[in-house]
Amino acid sequence: WQRYDEHVLPPAIPNAHRSLSWLGHNGIINCVLTSRHRDNTLTILDRHGLFAEFALVSTIDNTKFHKPDPRAFEYVLGQLREGWGILPNQCLYVGDALTDVVAGQSAGIATLAVMTGQFMHLPNLKKAVVEVGLDLADVIPSIAELPYEVERRNDGALAVSTDELGY
């Protein structure tokens, strides 16, 4: 898929920009953790107008570990700790594949599954529930639901409510 990325721009996830913007308005540090190479990742983010929404982009060029290995988070968690004083228990990881859920849970990070990618297919979502204990309360149907979930987890104590941004 790395070579595919060079020729065909992967589609943007619907509502990603809106959700990321809302998170940023609330002082939340948005990060990317991907197994793609840095150049490909930056090109994809830039072409979709998402690059500015992320404070940190962690790619395969930053670590030799791949999800589901929880050590894939070491670089990004180190940067969050050093740059912003953010600890793993203050993070929320959002993924759309079984390897994401396993990695996030194994790293001790609250993990949400979004029903894009692998989880668009219910057998894959069921496998995550049955085999790795994913709680259905930790599943959102689309990235558009992320602001509501973050607001819920913070008891609504955020600077900008979902109502104010038209959610």
pLDDT tens track for 24-81:
988 899 999 998 999 999 999 999 999 999 999 999 999 999 999 999 999 999 999 9
Burial (CB count <10 Å: 0-12, 13-18, 19+), residue 103? buried
163, pLDDT greater than 70: no
| Element at 139 (helix H, strand E) | strand 139-140
Closest C-alpha among 70, 53, 73 to residue 62 = 73
Q: Name, in order, each residue with C-beta under 8 angstroms of 61's C-beta and a sequence gap of 6 or more.
A: 37, 38
Q: What is residue 13's DSSP assignment?
A: P
Q: Output the pTM of the full model.
A: 0.87
The pLDDT tens digits of the residues spanning 12-36 come to 888 999 999 999 988 899 999 998 9
Our CA angle for 58, 103, 155, nearest 5°, is 85
Q: What percent of the chain is helix, strand and coil (3-state, nearest 5)?
A: 50, 10, 40
Closest C-alpha among 11, 1, 10 to residue 35 = 1
158, pLDDT greater than 80: no
Bridge partners of 20, per DSSP, are none
Average pLDDT taken over every residue of the chain: 88
121, pLDDT greater than 90: no
Burial (CB count <10 Å: 0-12, 13-18, 19+), residue 2? exposed
Q: Name, in order, each residue with C-beta under 8 angstroms of 122's C-beta and a sequence gap of 6 or more.
A: none
Q: Spell out a b/e string for 27-39, using b for 16 or more CB atoms within 10 Å of the CB, else e.
A: ebbbbbbbebeee
Q: What is residue 67's DSSP assignment?
A: T
